[in-house]
Amino acid sequence: MNVLVINCGSSSLKYQVINADSEEVLAKGLCERIGIDGRLVYQPEGGEKETTEADMPTHTEAVRMVLDALVNPKTGVLKSLEEIDAVGHRLVHGGEAFAASTLITDEVVAAVDECSDLAPLHNPANLIGVRACKEVLPNVPMVGVFDTAFHQTMPEEAFLYGIPYEYYEKYKVRKYGFHGTSHSYVSKRAAEILDKPYDSLKTIVCHLGNGASICAVENGKSVDTSMGLSPLEGLVMGTRSGDIDPSAMEFIAKKENLDMAGIMNVLNKESGVYGVSGVSSDFRDLEQAAKEGNKRAQIARKVFVHRVLKYIGAYAASMNGVDVICFTAGLGENDGSIREMICNNLGYLGISIDKEANQVHGEEKVISTSDSKVKVLVVPTNEELAICRETVEIIKNK
Ligand code: ADP
């Protein structure tokens, strides 16, 4: 069974074709600048990456181009489109309506659309991808895999904000959490690597990328996570502020003469380690600048680590213990110095890190010492594979 995995944004569309039986990626790539001019990147397994400039006025043309590339007689990986058995879509916000992946029907599209005011940048773009695929592959079943679904197991005490309850009742203002597909995949994989039953572990997953979040997974269920109603809450990220005293927003708005949209722009795009350092949102640039003596780059890294430490401490406390800590995503998988800065402060949990193992880049590895009370692992995330697996599960039980 082959699954086409689609992650659709407003002007881009990432895709992979995965053979669900062997879990081999047959081809992958992306369409960029959709609606502007258009560029297709296509890479068959074991082959060269090709880039083609082509007109893509809408996502429908983009999907058509992807499919044409997949069945291209020279470089394609499929004989015909009949070989695509299902499409798995990454959908960002499922609100409270979706606690699991689901077969995409017209009702599901309408329900996801209804969640759009909770994720105005993401859900409409995701649905454009769904509609484009439906137009081009009308008879192929499609499954939606939500970033929020894994966190729907959070108890009320974790997901409610300390604000009037009627805002939850009327408008569903609450913590939802994101990166759920990644947190679920990584926490499961860690249990497999450690050969422990998934439903017996207390795991903290640190998904540290440009967007970053931490999740507490107890007995296989998400019980708390750092992102909230939107992906702005929680950790200090590449350009997002994470947690901030809401009064600071009013204070800055008055001083800088900004309206709410202006403030949100600052908190989403001009803050985080980029805002603190004034150097970059990319940790590789920050490390370089910090080494060269740039004080603000040094402090930005420390601010980032400090917030991660606070969340790890909070989740170890709220779960009444922790057995496993995992690092994943761009930074978590690759940056040994940040992992070391974090783990050096976790001695109180009985954690000790094997410095040599911690040199790892982008590979599954236990980086704690054999006598460390809590196991610490690097587990590269694979959201596309997780979406493929979910899609197969749903299609099988259809
Ligand atoms: P997102 O998917 O949220 O855009 P990623 O998971 O791709 O983010 O992570 C991107 C970040 O990971 C980069 O901004 C960079 O800071 C960090 N990163 C990626 N590769 C490395 C590396 N080799 N060393 C250190 N940091 C890295």
Indicate if ligand 1 lies below 6 Å from the C-beta of 300: no
CA distance 338 to 320: 25
- How large is the angle between the packed helices 246-256 and 260-269, nearest 10 degrees? 110
User: Which is the CATH superfamily of the domain at 197-378?
Assistant: ATPase, nucleotide binding domain (3.30.420.40)
* Residue 220 CA from chain centroid, whole number: 18
CA distance 247 to 244: 8
**What is the whole-number distance in angstroms between the Cα of residue 335 and the centre of ligand 1?**
9
Indicate if ligand 1 lies below 6 Å from the C-beta of 185: no
| DSSP label at residue 209 | S
CA distance 102 to 387: 11
CA distance 45 to 18: 10
Indicate if ligand 1 lies below 6 Å from the C-beta of 334: yes
Q: 318-352: per-residue pLDDT in tens?
A: 999 999 999 999 999 999 999 999 999 999 999 99
Q: What fold does the segment set 2-146 form as a domain?
A: Nucleotidyltransferase; domain 5 (3.30.420)
The domain limits of the chain are: 2-146, 197-378
Indicate if ligand 1 lies below 6 Å from the C-beta of 209: yes
Say what the pLDDT of residue 121 is: 82
CA distance 8 to 286: 30
* Tokens 């922790």, located at residue: 322
Exposure string over 190-211, b if 16+ CB within 10 A, otherwise e: bbebbeeebeebbbbbbbbbbb
Q: What's the predicted TM-score (pTM) here?
A: 0.95
Catalytic residue among 55, 106, 117, 147: 147
- What is the chain's Cα-based Rg? 21
**What is the whole-number distance in angstroms between the Cα of residue 77 and the centre of ligand 1?**
29
Is 259 tagged catalytic?
Answer: no
Indicate if ligand 1 lies below 6 Å from the C-beta of 331: yes
Pocket of ligand 1, candidates 210, 291, 341, 361: which has the most ligand atoms within 8 Å of its Cβ, to mutate? 210
CA distance 365 to 182: 17
Place 120 in a pLDDT band, splitting at 50, 70 and 90: confident
Pocket of ligand 1, candidates 331, 338, 358: which has the most ligand atoms within 8 Å of its Cβ, to mutate? 331
Indicate if ligand 1 lies below 6 Å from the C-beta of 285: no
Return the ligand 1 atom nearest residue 287 CA: 25
CA-proximal residue: ligand 1, atom 26 (nearest): 331
Say what the pLDDT of residue 118 is: 87
Out of 8-12, 228-232, 291-295, 375-379, pick the least confident.
Answer: 8-12
Q: 181-190: per-residue pLDDT in tens?
A: 999 999 999 9
